[in-house]
């Protein structure tokens, strides 16, 4: 089974990649920047998900290879410390949506022939902050981008079902990472273990699902 994980060089993405590799899967992990991660057992590829040329080069490098599972994990949260009065400048919106939404779509679009070949699965890492049932205020850009990723996943699930491709959208939990902070609820190992179980359970009967890392159905 070949698994592609974007943003696999740190946090939940790295934990997912290492767990999948330890379970005997062929893992292709992506990283942004010039420094290739020093982690064995993973086939590393440079990818800036927000850059069309980088996406094209990545897809070309994987041409002809079947992909059983694509995990769109790469994401950014750029607005910490912003205030409603005068904050949330346009470049923050542009950069966040370029990664969290457009980047997800371009990755799926570029690798769709590989996924269709194996009737594989697509997992989109969104967030509970995408749900319209959770609106405590703040984090406007991140919430909007993750809501868009959720909507994207739901529509892709409809379009790809006839191809035998299942799409799931997931909340990874509030995880102790650079993004989640030290006061978060769960470790990267707990999140990765739970998410892998969700990916394994994903099928055409559950395509379009929005679930938490521990298997709870999350309201949209």
CATH of residue 37's domain is 3.40.50.720
Smallest CA-to-CA distance from 106 within 72, 78, 76, 77 is with 72
Catalytically active residues are 142
What is the percent of the chain with per-residue pLDDT over 70, rounded to a whole number?
96
Map tokens 């099928």 to a residue.
Answer: 203
What band does 219 get if pLDDT is binned at 50, 70 and 90? Answer: confident
Whether residue 218 lies inside any domain: the answer is no
**pTM score over 0.85:** yes
Residues spanned by the domain of 94 = 2-212
Whether residue 204 lies inside any domain: the answer is yes
Asked if 204 and 164 touch (Cβ cutoff 8 Å), the reply is yes
- Residues 6 or more apart in contact with residue 124 via CB below 8 angstroms: 72, 104, 149, 150, 152, 153, 167, 168, 169, 170
Task: Reply yes or no on whether the pLDDT at 184 is more than 80.
Answer: no
Asked if 132 and 150 touch (Cβ cutoff 8 Å), the reply is no
Helix (H, G, I), strand (E, B) or coil at 170: strand
What band does 201 get if pLDDT is binned at 50, 70 and 90? Answer: very high
Domain count, the chain: 1
Whether residue 69 lies inside any domain: the answer is yes
The pLDDT value given to residue 139: 93
The pLDDT value given to residue 197: 97
Mean pLDDT value of segment 79-100:
96
Mean pLDDT value of segment 111-136:
94
Whether residue 219 lies inside any domain: the answer is no
- Residues 6 or more apart in contact with residue 151 via CB below 8 angstroms: none
């Amino acid at each position: 089974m070949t698994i592609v994980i974007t943003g696999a060089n740190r946090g939940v993405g790295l934990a997912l990649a290492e767990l999948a590799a330890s379970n005997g899967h062929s893992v292709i992990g992506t990283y942004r920047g010039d420094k290739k991660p020093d982690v064995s057992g993973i086939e590393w590829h440079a990818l800036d998900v927000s850059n069309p040329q980088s996406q094209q080069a990545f897809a070309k490098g994987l041409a002809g290879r079947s992909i059983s599972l694509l995990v769109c994990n790469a994401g950014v949260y750029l607005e910490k410390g912003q205030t409603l009065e005068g904050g949330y400048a346009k470049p923050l919106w542009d950069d966040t949506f370029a990664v969290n939404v457009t980047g997800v779509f371009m990755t799926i679009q570029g690798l769709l022939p590989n996924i269709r070949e194996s009737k594989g699965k697509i997992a989109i890492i969104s967030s509970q902050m995408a749900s319209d049932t959770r609106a405590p205020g703040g984090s406007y850009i991140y919430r909007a981008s993750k809501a868009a990723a959720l909507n994207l996943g739901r529509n892709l699930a409809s379009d790809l079902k006839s191809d035998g491709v299942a799409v799931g959208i997931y909340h990874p939990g509030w995880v102790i990472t650079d993004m989640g902070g030290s006061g978060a609820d769960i470790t990267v190992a707990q999140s990765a273990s739970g998410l892998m179980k969700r990916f394994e359970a994903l099928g055409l009967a559950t395509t379009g699902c929005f679930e938490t890392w521990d298997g709870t159905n999350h309201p949209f």
